Structure 1
Amino acid sequence: MRAAVLEEYGEPLSIEDVAAPDAAADGVVVELEACGICRSDWHAWQGDWDWLGLKPPKGQILGHEPAGRVVGVGSDVETVREGDHVAIPFNLGDGTCPQCANGHGNTCENVVPLGFAEVAQGAFAEQVHVPAADYNVVGLPEGVSSIDMAGLGCRFMTSFHALAHRADIEAGDWVAVHGCGGVGLSAVHIADALGGNVVAVDLDDQKLELAEELGAAATVNANDAGSVPGAVRAIADDHVGVSVDALGIPETCRNSIQSLGARGQHVQIGLTTEAEGGTIELPTDAMVMSEIEFIGSLGMPPTKYDEIFRMVASGKLDPSAVVTDRVALDDVSETLAAMTNFETVGIPVIDEF
């Protein structure tokens, strides 16, 4: 099968013919119809995250936002069948540890990150293997497109879990989103659907315009604001209850925290780059004085995808609205390179393998 293989960090991926995967006893093989290209793939391509144990080895197939059809089923799999239309979360749980048993499979004690580890080759390929399929495979509703659902593997579901499960958003609450890449735009759309009044922050007017289309009540171009926190607080009359850092650099993290009103919640979705090495200095005294909460949020348990699907069915959510580009497998390196200077908008998706 054809696959995009990491040969050197920061260099174009190699399009190669590699052996197709076989289904392990507890696993399935999915033939890809679509796979999102995520900023996390950019981090992997750069060789980031060794401080998290997530630096992929050379020879790795990247890609972790897949959707497609099951073409091979292991002998022990009970709930997945050939031909099923499915999405796959990037944080693969074993389905048996205490975290999985208690509904928190996104923090599985034996989690395997799809596309980041040799034992979990990714989905920039014609086929991908999924272990513990009865737990990890998410069946898609009838009539939806794999392309429209590709973001469910990471960005869309990550934002949903952060805002629907980790933060406390009530109708009319002011919600700030710092960084309007794919995960940030997903957060804008989801916060609006949950009843929040959203302030979107970015440096790019095109991304801010899309944020407005996805439900932002107001936008702030950080290039034009003398103080981003001041601009956000002025819009919300100092009543921002939830603020999201969807990028993971010091400026957006601190701006998010400083945008909050008293007893607000900062939600950290974005992970850092090599420049930060996993550590950002925070205004801790101000956080103490205003009783600010710092909340980390990772992925989403596969057992909760039905919440997204119910909101899609009712018309409140539309993951396809964040999908902006369709590319071929051969174009992945060009798309990753464009992410270096934040030149992509929304979620680019591979639909030709």
Structure 2
Amino acid sequence: MRAILIEQYGVPPVVADVVDPKVPDGGVVVRVEATGLCRSDWHGWQGHDSDIVLPHVPGHELAGTIAAIAPGVTGWNVGDRVTAPFICACGQCRECLDGNHQVCPNQLQPGFNYWGSFAEYVALPFAEVNLVRLPDELAFDTAAGLGCRFATSYRAVHQVGRIQAGEKLIVFGCGGVGLSAVMIAAALGAEVVAVDTNPAALALATRYGAAHVVDTADAERLVDLTGGGADVTMDALGSNQLVQEALRSLRPRGRHLQVGLLPSGVQLDVSRLIGQELQWLGSHGMAAHAYPEMLDLVAQGNLKPADLVTRTIGLPAVPDALASLTTPNATAGVTVIHP
């Protein structure tokens, strides 16, 4: 099959012919119809993920049709339209039995623990736990973005951050995760402030429901804009500087959502966390069993993830598109790859 192959960290990958994936025990192989280009893929390409072993095929947001099924897997057929979370949980550990698949200690992530979806085919383990059936009316391009950015934002904003109607949320970084958060929070009735240096990203944030857009992460200005501080802040990019501004932008007893990866670590003003009784909340993906609620809102038109897709490309364009993520504000919206 054709795939994007990373042979050295930080060096542009190539389109290569590689071996087809084998069907894992208890899993399936999916023919990839669409796969999202995510900043997490950029982190992997830069060598920020210790699970990756070179040479490597990235890609973790995907949608397609089942091409092969392992013996013993029930409930699924070749040709079924599916997606899956980027965290493929084992379904048997204590966390999984409690429903917390997104923190399964035995998880496997396509594009990180093993070869991913920037390819014509990808293997998915633990199929009965992780496959999500796609409605016929949901386009593959839209579904591809659900597995990481949109589902991650949905859980972060709705389930972890517990955003309520009338609350004020500041989203720092309007890439795919941030724009998804803007759309979801606005649909929940929150007043959203979007912060980014990219005018195109801020224009999309306004389109998706942001009440205010700001091109500078300045806590003093944001506190004034929110009338004393936000109820919730969210770092959707992964930046020590943004974390500091986010924490200073909160009202007392506010909640901070950390979704952006911080490979270089972060410095925290712990005395402020204690003195203001602030909450630091990490959020990591969303389990497959939680998808139906989100998909129902998409079907009803309350959430419109299709609007987030601003570009589609083929495999030959992936190396340049991946490199463009080195500059966070180089593009706006979600890029989807058609392998």
- TM-score (structure 1 length as normaliser): 0.94
Which of the residues 175, 182, 190 maps onto 2:169? Answer: 175
- Using the alignment, how far apart are the partners of 2:244 and 2:304 within structure 1? 30
Determine if the alignment matches structure 1 residue 322 to structure 2 residue 308.
yes
282-291 or 38-47: which moved more?
Answer: 282-291
Q: How do 1:57-136 residues align onto structure 2 when only pairs under 5 Å count?
A: 57-117=53-113, 120-136=114-130
Q: Secondary structure at the match of 1:207?
A: helix
Determine if the alignment matches structure 1 residue 19 to structure 2 residue 13.
no
Q: Secondary structure at the match of 1:92?
A: coil
| Structure 2, gaps ≥5 residues long | none
Which of the residues 133, 138, 141 maps onto 1:144? Answer: 138
Residue in 2 that maps onto 1:310: 296
Determine if the alignment matches structure 1 residue 246 to structure 2 residue 236.
yes
Partner AA of 2:95 in structure 1: Q
Residue in 1 that maps onto 2:198: 204
Deviation at 1:22, TM superposition (A): 2.6
Residue in 1 that maps onto 2:248: 258
Deviation at 1:239, TM superposition (A): 4.1
Residue in 1 that maps onto 2:326: 340
- Using the alignment, how far apart are the partners of 2:12 and 2:76 within structure 1? 35
- Using the alignment, how far apart are the partners of 2:237 and 2:25 within structure 1? 38
- Using the alignment, how far apart are the partners of 1:87 and 1:122 within structure 2? 13
Residue in 2 that maps onto 1:290: 276
- Using the alignment, how far apart are the partners of 1:261 and 1:17 within structure 2? 54
- Using the alignment, how far apart are the partners of 2:44 and 2:262 within structure 1? 12
Q: Percent identity?
A: 40
- Using the alignment, how far apart are the partners of 2:66 and 2:253 within structure 1? 46
Determine if the alignment matches structure 1 residue 221 to structure 2 residue 222.
no
Deviation at 1:89, TM superposition (A): 1.2
- Using the alignment, how far apart are the partners of 2:169 and 2:77 within structure 1? 41
Residues 220 and 231 in structure 1, CA contact (< 8 A), matched pair in contact too:
no
Which of the residues 222, 225, 228 maps onto 1:235? Answer: 225
Partner AA of 1:325 in structure 2: R
- Using the alignment, how far apart are the partners of 2:271 and 2:24 within structure 1? 51
Residue in 2 that maps onto 1:350: 337
- TM-score (structure 2 length as normaliser): 0.97
- Using the alignment, how far apart are the partners of 2:272 and 2:295 within structure 1? 39
| Structure 1, gaps ≥5 residues long | none
- Using the alignment, how far apart are the partners of 1:335 and 1:216 within structure 2? 27
- Using the alignment, how far apart are the partners of 2:237 and 2:248 within structure 1? 16
Residues 157 and 299 in structure 1, CA contact (< 8 A), matched pair in contact too:
yes
